């Protein structure tokens, strides 16, 4: 109920405010200011997690988080519009905005396990720390201190095309990396959950790791299958991105070119 009322109103208000302030302070300054506000907006939830039932605090935390989210989204939309080329603006903007929402979809299922493992207060501290890498990436597109970031289009670089074996190697590497990342993530989450119940100094991450790679029962087997599917998807995405960036040529075509 609160999300559909207070959250919606605050998000829409933040979008309008963010758009107006972006014009006043400049896109570069707006991205940094609104980005930092978004990061520290979860501080209200940290206070809420440490208190009892407190509806005014809950509504205030939700409203501030939604307001800063709308402000950041407004400035970010302006950045996406400037990064697109006029000839492909609709396609590029749709692609960029879709990629912008992808981390939210991927992190959603993991968040529940992380909360169960570490608790709400630690979880929200982790979300604040997780905003740091995003601000470092922002430096690439909007250097700190510049009112208007450079949004010119770099000339395309000619890269040698990839043969089928090279593309296969990249896909397999991505699949292996995705599988290992999935196993490591689930091991850490299970380890953090187990540390709460085990006595101090008597727990290690080896047992959760062995439970994942040596499943017993339907549930663990389904979990392992899910990890394998995630690894396969990662490999396919890696191969697709490599082919899109450098192109694909059969071995005979590469030999003719040489």
Which domain, by its residues, includes 186?
164-257
Beta-strand ranges (E) seen in the chain are none
- Name the CA dihedral angle for 148, 152, 157, 161, rounded to a multiple of 10 degrees: 90
Same domain, yes or no, for 137 and 60? yes
Q: Is residue 217 part of a domain?
A: yes
Is residue 48 located within the same domain as residue 137? yes
Question: pLDDT per residue over 119-135, tens digit each?
Answer: 888 888 988 898 888 88
Which residue in 177, 190, 191, 187 sits closest to 230, CA to CA? 177
pLDDT digits (tens, 9 = 90+) for 186-210: 888 777 777 666 655 566 678 788 8
Q: Give residue 253's pLDDT.
A: 47
Tell me: pLDDT of 138 over 80.
yes
Q: How far apart are CA 214 and CA 207, in angstroms?
A: 10
If asked whether residues 118 and 40 sit together in one domain, one would say: yes
The pLDDT tens digits of the residues spanning 206-254 come to 878 888 888 888 888 998 898 999 899 999 989 888 887 777 665 444 4
- Residue 168 falls within a domain, yes or no? yes
């Amino acid at each position: 109920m609160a999300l559909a009322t207070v959250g919606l109103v605050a998000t829409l208000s933040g979008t309008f405010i963010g758009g107006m302030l972006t014009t006043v302070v400049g896109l570069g300054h707006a991205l940094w200011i609104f980005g930092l506000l978004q990061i520290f907006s979860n501080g209200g939830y940290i206070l809420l997690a440490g208190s009892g039932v407190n509806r005014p605090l809950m509504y205030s935390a939700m409203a501030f988080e939604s307001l800063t989210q709308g402000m950041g989204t407004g400035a970010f939309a302006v950045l996406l519009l400037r990064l697109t080329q006029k000839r492909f603006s609709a396609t590029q903007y749709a692609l960029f905005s879709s990629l912008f929402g992808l981390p939210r979809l991927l992190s959603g299922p993991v968040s529940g396990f992380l909360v169960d493992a570490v608790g709400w207060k630690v979880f929200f501290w982790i979300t604040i720390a997780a905003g740091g890498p995003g601000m470092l990436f922002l430096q690439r597109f909007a250097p700190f201190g510049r009112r208007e970031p450079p949004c010119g289009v770099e000339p395309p670089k000619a890269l040698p095309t990839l043969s089928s074996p090279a593309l296969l190697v990249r896909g397999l590497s991505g699949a292996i990396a995705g599988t290992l990342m999935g196993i490591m993530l689930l091991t850490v989450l299970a380890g953090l959950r187990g540390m709460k119940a085990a006595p101090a100094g008597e727990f290690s991450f080896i047992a959760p790791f062995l439970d994942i790679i040596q499943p017993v029962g339907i549930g663990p087997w389904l979990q392992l299958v899910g990890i394998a599917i995630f690894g396969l998807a990662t490999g396919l995405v890696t191969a697709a991105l490599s082919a899109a960036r450098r192109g694909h040529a059969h071995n005979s075509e590469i030999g003719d070119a040489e």
